[in-house]
Amino acid sequence: MFLESIFLYNFRNYDEQKISFSRGKNLVLGDNGAGKSNLLEAVYVLSTSKSFRQAADSKLTRWGAEGYHVKGMFSSPRGRYAIDIVVQKDRKRLLINGTQEDRISNIIGYVYCVVFYFDDILLVTGPPRVKRAYLDLILSTVDPLYFDNLRRYLTVVKQKSCYLRDAVRVDRELLLSWNEQLVQSGGYIVDKRYGLVEFINNFLEGRVRDVYRTEPLFSLSYRTKVLNGEGRQSVDSIRKSFAEKLEGYRERETRFAQCLVGPHRDDLSFMDETHDVRYFGSIGEARLSAIFLKLAQAYFYTSEKGVVPILLMDDILLELDRRNMEMVIELLDKESQTFITTTERAKLSEILSYDTVFHIDSGKIE
């Protein structure tokens, strides 16, 4: 997959700019606050319609403007196409090849993109909801059925939670009905999450070990109360176990007025040989673990969809020591179009070759 060019209008600190890119490594240079991350953010918006920094559209709009327009011309195995994201006041529109789509979510599956940035460390050290959201993003991007099951599951969790909180007397039959829906959707979710975690661990044990020439540095553990044992099971076994757990938790859920068991409460842990990196690892280990997760995500997209995703690396390489920086660069798919931002060209030039260099100064790109 390859981004040929991008057009920015009133996006962040860009007034109006069009830029063409190399198919290989694009190095983006500039001082802090010049707009390097904003450029990567615009590319990511064309992939998901959302900011990787969780910014609202009003925050993405240039100061004083009423909206923004981002347009990208892409080339991929499915052809060449243009994607527009247009925000005007409170209205947001998606256009694919000039035709307006009725749902913004229709953007999913057109552009595969993986972003590496500072807050990725929360995938290792942060709360469980951040880690669940990360798995859900990856799986929803490649599997529409996962997206549908997740949406149904979260809707039922919300309905059931509101009922438990507000009901004077709990109707057991109504709870059973909701639980049956949770079991069906939740079983699919847990199964697919286990599959993704297995893929990531295979990546760590295979590709990463080959590059580092050592035993896997870390492994990923998926923790759920849905199952009695550990490890992946069949979907039917997951659903059976989930149904039993929901019945066992029925009185506690009624007492605490919460949905206490299910994939909405699961967690991920990155483990070294004996310890959870979240609690016992260094900042450097946590950073490296997060980068491995993102690299595995890129390989997962290629494995599942046959597409080499665009890589956006927002000033994270220089946080690594020299050896790990070299190893991470070696792990990058050689066919990936890559955007790398930095304030220090000299240090990267020692170990990284690139095809095109862009200089950004106050929202102007040369």
Task: Quick: pLDDT tens for 295-341.
Answer: 999 999 999 999 999 999 998 877 788 888 888 888 888 899 999 99
269 pLDDT tier (thresholds 50, 70, 90) = confident
Q: Which domains, from first to last, does the chain contain?
A: 2-112+307-365 (3.40.50.300), 124-277 (1.20.1050.90)
Q: What is the dihedral of CA 91, 44, 337, 30, to 10 degrees?
A: 110
Query: Cα(360)–Cα(339) distance, rounded to whole angstroms?
Result: 13
Q: Provide the 3-class DSSP secondary structure of residue 242.
A: helix
* pLDDT surpassing 90 at residue 280: no
pLDDT of residue 80: 92
> What is the pTM (predicted TM-score) of this model?
0.91
Q: Mean pLDDT score of the chain, rounded to an integer?
A: 90
294 pLDDT tier (thresholds 50, 70, 90) = very high
pLDDT of residue 324: 86
215 pLDDT tier (thresholds 50, 70, 90) = low
pLDDT of residue 101: 94
Per-residue pLDDT averaged across 143-152, rounded?
Answer: 95
Helices (H), ranges, the chain? 36-48, 57-60, 122-125, 128-142, 144-166, 172-203, 209-212, 235-248, 250-256, 277-280, 283-305, 322-331, 345-349
Do 61 and 11 contact (CB within 8 A), yes or no?
A: yes
Do 84 and 91 contact (CB within 8 A), yes or no?
A: no
pLDDT of residue 230: 65
pLDDT of residue 43: 96
